[in-house]
Structure 1
Amino acid sequence: MTEIRVLTDEAQYRAHNTLFRRALHGGPPTDEQWPVTLPSYEPDRALAAFDGDQMVGTTQSYGSSLVVPGGARVPHAAVSRVGVRADYTRRGVLTALMREQLSSLPDPVATLRASESRIYGRFGYGLAGRVRELEIDTKLAVIAGGMTGRVRMLDPDTADKLLPELHEAIGLRRPGQISRWPGWWARMRNRKPETENSVTVVHSGPDGDDGFLTYKVTGEKDFKHRLAVEDFEWANDDAWRDLWIYVTRLDLVDHVESDVALDDPVSWLFEDPRALVTKDVFDQIWLRLVDVPRMLSARTYGAAESVVIEVHDRLLPANSGCYRVSADGAERVEEQADLTVPVDLLGAVYLGDVTFTQLASARRIEGTRLADADALFAVPQKPICGTFF
């Protein structure tokens, strides 16, 4: 019988990390890698499944905060390192881990990045945010005019010290963005071999530093190079525009790659619209409403007549029930539902990536009053996270 335990010491953490890496067909952490990885383990947030004394499955979360529509920040669990030993798959191990983790989380919402997109819907996670994967041809990428501010390059030690402060000062702009916990920054600081060719630049405007961009350049044949944007944050339009000018005007760089929100206006920077192509649209945010009443009350809503939504949650049955959503907020009620939705698809709608009408058209949900529900949950900007974990 599978037993779920909270891990408490370094030896257990290392076994946890080894099992997770092997589940992704990687090798165990080396003695050199382990001191870099250890700070990313937080007390009471690493769980493992055991068959007797054998560890057979893993999951973990990090304490963070998430921006919801309307701008509020709510406590958030960033779920990661989910894995099951290859000889224990399809035996209920992952279900036991997910049930225990979600039942014991102190946070009302969780998100994760899915290695396989079919896994997490059955545990109540919904695809709540996607990104556009862009490629820019710098020969065509003409942006009229010059910079309004200044861009300066940082050495690694200065970047390690400044970026956490600047990220917090810039703030979180869009639904789906999350705060970065100390362990996240510690791991970034210590991954020197992996980021040897990584460059960080900071933008300064009239009021001081207001944006940064980290990128890596890789060589191709005939002195051609490709630049991949790794981290990009900005506080205002001038910083955003100037940093795009910087990366598209670098000498010996022929192509720039970046992930952006679905509605990011970067295409309109260029005089030639063919300078930019969308190579792919990929899932990024998988969101799980752990406490449905709290999360429905945490966000704001648009102007429309109230709608009663019936939620079904098999894994966390306390969430199941009917909720009246209006421009004034949300509350649990005992009323006839206008539409019925499983908790994973409520999560998909929650940040504004998809609408109830689209889900109904795909025969994923049933109900009436779809136009009102869409108007209530509408957002001015598409969600994006921008932080990998």
Structure 2
Amino acid sequence: MGTDLGRSPSTELRVLRADDWDRWYDSLLRAFGGVPEAPEERELWNSLTETERSIGAWDGDAVVGTASAFDFRLTVPGGASVPAAGVTMVSVAATHRRRGVLTSMMRRQLDDVRSWGRPLAVLTASEPAIYGRFGYAAATYHVNARIDTTRVRLTVPPGTDDVRLRYAEPADVLDACEALCARQVPLRPGMVARSPGWERLMLLDPAGERDGASPLQCVVAERGGELVGYARFRVKPDWEPAGPKGTVVLENTEALDPAAHAALWRFLFGIDLTTVIDARRRPVDEPWQYLVSDVRRCELLVRDSLHVRLVDVGAALGARTYQAPVDVVFEVEDSFCPWNAGRWRLTGDTKGASCERTEEAADLALSVRELGAAYLGGVSLTVPAAAGLVRELREGALAEASVGFGSAVAPWLPHGF
């Protein structure tokens, strides 16, 4: 049976059937402008869609809303891999806006996520303003950079010359690069363990989306025959009367140590006939920023990335560790998921944590959004407190919680979904 939508009686929600996927996906693409995808891209998302975690809003025979979720495992501070619903493919047809379709899908989806036993829901927002009212908040950020390699020098650490670089076909070294990436996942909050099939996303390279750049290229870094890093990139040639001014478009790179990191970036800086590195979706604390001679000429732009929603406050806060001891009672407001509302006592340290219901007096009052923003350690609770969104009810509680929630490395989501 479908679920009737309060303000649109003719519309119902249904779990997606595999044979309806094409119509469902066409509705999604139309909502995002209607530009057709390359066949290989469409086939990839078809294979990755979890139909049992997907819903469509139907008005008669027409799909007028879409929403889906991937079953992810997300790294949290302390290194634990926590089950999370990766919310994706959300759209409402322009003909059915302001009828409660999105709210009904978000209501259904969060109820489902709770029933699946997932304490977290996460997403990347096409329009961040949409999701705040459903309890999501930006918890990770990334940096886009446009580096003028004609005017910026790179200083490399000892050992860089011991790293050997070689070109490789991206597909030929995919398994080795994925194994290296998997070693990195537990080390940084916000990273997602890639399930089988997701490695294909790393090779997705539709010709129509290169904007004049080359097909995907790959360079691997090795030491003593062992892979210690890689970079995937494209080169976009360009010329002016004075000479070449090509761009290196960096898609992704990982390295196991400072020397490998520096060797790969030195290579990118030195590619012939190029004057710019266009680096996208990089960690805000990536080391190359401290190797360059002039960071202003790197044109850093910080953007929001992963938005986090605590679906089960107790389970979510108890699943991570805290870099300093915390013993704080939160008064949580959550109108959209009222089962989270009320007082929770969080106790924890670097070894573990628990978060349970309590009748004790509250130390901090805040909404579930502020907890979501701070959850991965990239946003200090002192920031929303300064905005009047967190109220300190016990002196010292804000500083205690803010330090405890922090992370030694900035949280980061390497790729979208």
The normalised TM-score by structure 2 is 0.86
Pairing 1:321–2:339 present: no
Pairing 1:103–2:121 present: no
Pairing 1:218–2:236 present: yes
**Letter of the aligned partner of 2:268 in structure 1?**
V
Query: Match for 1:330 among 344, 354, 369?
Result: 354
Q: Residue 372 of structure 1: CA displacement?
A: 1.2
Q: Bigger shift: 134-143 or 29-38?
A: 29-38
Residue in structure 1 matched with residue 286 of structure 2 by the alignment: 264
Q: Bigger shift: 145-154 or 90-99?
A: 145-154
Say if 1:128 and 1:349, in contact at 8 Å, map to a contact too: yes
Say if 1:134 and 1:257, in contact at 8 Å, map to a contact too: yes
Query: Match for 2:155 among 132, 135, 143?
Result: 143
Please give the per-residue CA displacement for 1:156-192, whole angstroms capped at 9, x wherever unaligned.
4314444333322444421111112334323444544
Matched residues, number = 387
Gaps of 5+ in 2: 1-8
Residue in structure 2 matched with residue 237 of structure 1 by the alignment: 258
Q: Residue 380 of structure 1: CA displacement?
A: 1.0
Give distance in 1, aligned partners of 2:326 and 2:128.
35
Q: Residue 22 of structure 1: CA displacement?
A: 0.8
Runs of 4 or more consecutive aligned structure 1 residues displaced over 6 Å after TM superposition: none
Say if 1:229 and 1:257, in contact at 8 Å, map to a contact too: yes
**Letter of the aligned partner of 2:61 in structure 1?**
D
Residue in structure 1 matched with residue 84 of structure 2 by the alignment: 76
Please give the per-residue CA displacement for 1:229-258, whole angstroms capped at 9, x wherever unaligned.
111222222222221111112111211122
Cα RMSD over matched residues?
Answer: 2.2
> Structure 1 254/276 Cα, relative in aligned 2: closer, same or farther at 3 Å?
same
Say if 2:41 and 2:204, in contact at 8 Å, map to a contact too: no
Pairing 1:174–2:169 present: no
Q: Residue 144 of structure 1: CA displacement?
A: 4.1
Q: Residue 207 of structure 1: CA displacement?
A: 6.8
Q: Residue 72 of structure 1: CA displacement?
A: 0.7
Give distance in 1, aligned partners of 2:189 and 2:57.
33
Residue in structure 2 matched with residue 17 of structure 1 by the alignment: 25
Say if 1:41 and 1:183, in contact at 8 Å, map to a contact too: no
Give distance in 2, aligned partners of 1:263 and 1:157.
29
Say if 1:285 and 1:385, in contact at 8 Å, map to a contact too: yes
The normalised TM-score by structure 1 is 0.92
| Identity within the alignment, % | 34
SS in 1 for 2:289: helix
**Letter of the aligned partner of 1:142 in structure 2?**
L
Q: Residue 387 of structure 1: CA displacement?
A: 1.6
> Structure 1 378/279 Cα, relative in aligned 2: closer, same or farther at 3 Å?
closer
**Letter of the aligned partner of 1:133 in structure 2?**
N
Give distance in 2, aligned partners of 1:184 and 1:245.
29
SS in 2 for 1:360: helix
Say if 1:23 and 1:84, in contact at 8 Å, map to a contact too: yes
Q: Residue 34 of structure 1: CA displacement?
A: 4.1
Please give the per-residue CA displacement for 1:332-378, whole angstroms capped at 9, x wherever unaligned.
22211111111122100111222222111111222232111112212
Residue in structure 1 matched with residue 276 of structure 2 by the alignment: 255
Residue in structure 2 matched with residue 378 of structure 1 by the alignment: 406
Say if 2:85 and 2:120, in contact at 8 Å, map to a contact too: yes
Give distance in 2, aligned partners of 1:170 and 1:363.
36
**Letter of the aligned partner of 1:136 in structure 2?**
I
Q: Residue 291 of structure 1: CA displacement?
A: 1.9
Please give the per-residue CA displacement for 1:88-131, whole angstroms capped at 9, x wherever unaligned.
11111111111111111222212111111201111111110111
Q: Residue 218 of structure 1: CA displacement?
A: 1.3
Give distance in 1, aligned partners of 2:403 and 2:94.
45
Please give the per-residue CA displacement for 1:276-324, whole angstroms capped at 9, x wherever unaligned.
4333111111111122211101111132451111222222222222122
Residue in structure 2 matched with residue 91 of structure 1 by the alignment: 99
Residue in structure 1 matched with residue 13 of structure 2 by the alignment: 4
Give distance in 2, aligned partners of 1:54 and 1:122.
27
Give distance in 2, aligned partners of 1:34 and 1:263.
34
Gaps of 5+ in 1: none
Give distance in 2, aligned partners of 1:337 and 1:71.
29
> Structure 1 30/212 Cα, relative in aligned 2: closer, same or farther at 3 Å?
closer
Q: Bigger shift: 84-93 or 74-83?
A: 74-83
> Structure 1 209/28 Cα, relative in aligned 2: closer, same or farther at 3 Å?
same
> Structure 1 55/211 Cα, relative in aligned 2: closer, same or farther at 3 Å?
same
> Structure 1 314/275 Cα, relative in aligned 2: closer, same or farther at 3 Å?
closer
Aligned residue runs from structure 1 range 112-131, under 5 A = 112-131=123-142
SS in 2 for 1:314: coil
Residue in structure 2 matched with residue 198 of structure 1 by the alignment: 216
Say if 1:60 and 1:79, in contact at 8 Å, map to a contact too: yes
Give distance in 2, aligned partners of 1:305 and 1:86.
47
Q: Bigger shift: 291-300 or 35-44?
A: 35-44
Residue in structure 2 matched with residue 367 of structure 1 by the alignment: 392
Give distance in 2, aligned partners of 1:30 and 1:227.
23
